[in-house]
Amino acid sequence: MKSSQLKIMFFDGNCLLCNKVVLFFLKIDKFNILFFAPIQGTTAEKLIPLDFRSNINTFIYLKDNNISIKSTALCNVLYDLGGIYKFISSIIYLIPQSIRDWIYDFIAKYRFKIWIQSNQCILPSIKNNKRILN
């Protein structure tokens, strides 16, 4: 599959909260549609413009060569997972983006005070290893 056809969620590879979110999405993604890569990695360097990569306080979602960030990225991921997650995404989308992003920014700002910072990326299971890109 070409990189332009992949659905890739980019995350801060040094953030324990971000790693836990990725593990959660790996668990609930029953059809294995999502791929994951740290913002600090080579995949992000190749596919994401520097102005997006310079802000590691955000999730970045790349789908069909379109980039979404922050709460919109999370909503788009949930939507693409389908089922109940699509429904949850639709409800979250009813909240104005400015409010959603304010909540997102608040959590991002304090994530290292609440969750420990890590120097390593997640260690996926053998089953999910192909879905974690560098």
The phi, psi pair for 97, rounded to 5°, reads: -55, -35
Write down the pLDDT at residue 18.
Answer: 83
Write down the pLDDT at residue 93.
Answer: 95
Query: How many CA atoms, within 13 angstroms, populate the side-chain half-sphere of residue 8?
Result: 26
Contact 105, 57 (CB under 8 A): yes
> What's CA 43's distance to the chain center, in Å?
14
d(C-alpha 99, C-alpha 133), whole Å: 31
Residues of the chain with pLDDT > 90, as a percent, come to 55
State yes or no: pLDDT of 117 exceeds 60: no
SS3 label, residue 117: strand
Mutual angle of helices 70-81 and 97-114, in 10-degree steps: 100
Among 32-36, 43-47, 113-117, whose mean pLDDT is lowest?
A: 113-117
d(C-alpha 98, C-alpha 31), whole Å: 31
State yes or no: pLDDT of 104 exceeds 80: yes
Write down the pLDDT at residue 33.
Answer: 95
